Structure 1
Amino acid sequence: MAGNVTPVMLPAGVALPQEYASGVARSRNGGTPLHDDAFVDGWINAARKRGSLNNVQVPLDAVQGWHREPETGNIHHQTGRFFSVIGVHVRHRVGHHELEWDQPIIEQPEIGILGILAKYIDGTLHFCLQAKEEPGNVGGVQLSPTVQATYSNYTGAHGGARPLFIERFIEPDPAGRLFARLQTEDGGRFLYKSNRNMIMVAGDEVPVELPEGFIWLTLCQIASLIRRDNLVNACTRSILACLVGAGSAGEPAYTAGGEGLRDTLQWLDDRRAVTHMLTRRIGLNDLKEWRLDEKGYFSHVPSAFFRIVGLKVSSQTREVGSWGQPIIENPAPGIIGLLLREGAEGTELLMQAKAEAGNRSTVQLGPTAQFTQGNYEGNQKLEKPFLFDEFSAPGPFPPVHESRQAEEGARFYREYNLHRILRLPEGTELALPPDYRWLTLRQVQVLVHLGEQVNSCARSIISCLL
Structure 2
Amino acid sequence: MQSLQISGPRLVRRIDHTLADRLALSTASAGTMLPTDEFAHWLGGRRAAHAFRTERIPFAALDAWTFQEGTGNLVHRSGRFFSVEGLHVTVSGDEGTEQWHQPIIRQPEVGILGILAKEFDGVLHFLMQAKMEPGNPNLLQLSPTVQATRSNYTKVHQGSDVRYLEYFTRPDRGRVLTDVLQSEHGSWFYRKSNRNVIVEAIGDVPDHEDFCWLSLGQLNELLRWDNVVNMDSRTVLACMPGGAGAQGSALHPDADLMSWFCSERSRHVVTAERGALRDVPGWECSEWAISHAEQRFFRVVALSVEAGNREVARWTQPLFEPVDTGEIAFVARRFDGVLHVLVAARVEGGFLDTVELGPTVQCIPGNVAHLPEEQRPAFLGTVVTATASDVLYEAVHSEEGGRFLNAESRYRVVLADETQAPTDPPAGFHWVTPDQLASLVQHGHYLNVQARTLLACLRTIAPTA
TM-score by length of structure 1 reads 0.91
> Residue type matched to 1:351 in 2?
V
Residues 251-295 of structure 1 show CA distances to partners (whole Å, capped at 9, x for unaligned) of: xxx9942421111111111011111111111111111100112x4
Matched, 1:157 2:149: no
Residue equivalent to 1:233: 230
Q: Distance in 2 between matches of 1:247 and 1:76?
A: 41
Residue equivalent to 1:303: 295
Matched, 1:263 2:260: no
Contact conserved, 1:337 with 1:421, CA < 8 A, in 2? yes
| 1:316-355 alignment runs, 5 A limit | 316-344=308-336, 346-355=338-347
The answer for unaligned runs of 5 or more in structure 2 is 6-11, 460-465
- Gap change, CA 1:167 and 1:351, over 3 Å in 2: same
| 1:55-70 alignment runs, 5 A limit | 55-70=54-69
Matched, 1:224 2:221: yes
Contact conserved, 1:108 with 1:190, CA < 8 A, in 2? yes
Residue equivalent to 2:462: none
- Gap change, CA 1:53 and 1:16, over 3 Å in 2: farther
Q: Distance in 1 between matches of 2:189 and 2:389?
A: 33
- Gap change, CA 1:354 and 1:426, over 3 Å in 2: closer
- Gap change, CA 1:57 and 1:424, over 3 Å in 2: same
Residues 50-84 of structure 1 show CA distances to partners (whole Å, capped at 9, x for unaligned) of: 24121111122321110101211101100000000
Residues 157-194 of structure 1 show CA distances to partners (whole Å, capped at 9, x for unaligned) of: 01011210101112234961111100000001000000
Farther-moved stretch of structure 1 (305-314 vs 382-391)? 382-391
Q: Distance in 2 between matches of 1:330 and 1:247?
A: 31
Q: Distance in 2 between matches of 1:172 and 1:70?
A: 44
Contact conserved, 1:398 with 1:425, CA < 8 A, in 2? no
CA shift, 1:416, in A, is 0.7
Contact conserved, 1:25 with 1:246, CA < 8 A, in 2? no
Residue equivalent to 1:394: 386
Farther-moved stretch of structure 1 (105-114 vs 422-431)? 422-431
SS in 1 for 2:375: coil
Contact conserved, 1:21 with 1:247, CA < 8 A, in 2? no
Farther-moved stretch of structure 1 (224-233 vs 9-18)? 9-18
- Gap change, CA 1:202 and 1:138, over 3 Å in 2: same
Matched, 1:242 2:239: yes
TM-score by length of structure 2 reads 0.92
CA shift, 1:349, in A, is 1.2
Matched, 1:313 2:305: yes
| 1:50-449 alignment runs, 5 A limit | 50-173=49-172, 176-207=175-206, 210-243=207-240, 246=243, 256-293=249-286, 295-344=287-336, 346-379=338-371, 383-395=375-387, 398-425=390-417, 430=422, 431-449=424-442
CA shift, 1:323, in A, is 0.9
The alignment yields a C-alpha RMSD, in angstroms, of 2.3
Q: Distance in 2 between matches of 1:435 and 1:255?
A: 24
CA shift, 1:353, in A, is 0.8
> Residue type matched to 1:422 in 2?
V
- Gap change, CA 1:41 and 1:31, over 3 Å in 2: closer
> Residue type matched to 1:284 in 2?
L
CA shift, 1:312, in A, is 1.3
Residues 208-240 of structure 1 show CA distances to partners (whole Å, capped at 9, x for unaligned) of: xx2110000001111111111001100000010
> Residue type matched to 1:261 in 2?
D
Q: Count residues in correspondence.
A: 451
- Gap change, CA 1:375 and 1:215, over 3 Å in 2: same
SS in 1 for 2:232: helix
Aligned identity (percent) is 35
- Gap change, CA 1:408 and 1:261, over 3 Å in 2: same
SS in 2 for 1:88: strand
- Gap change, CA 1:279 and 1:388, over 3 Å in 2: same
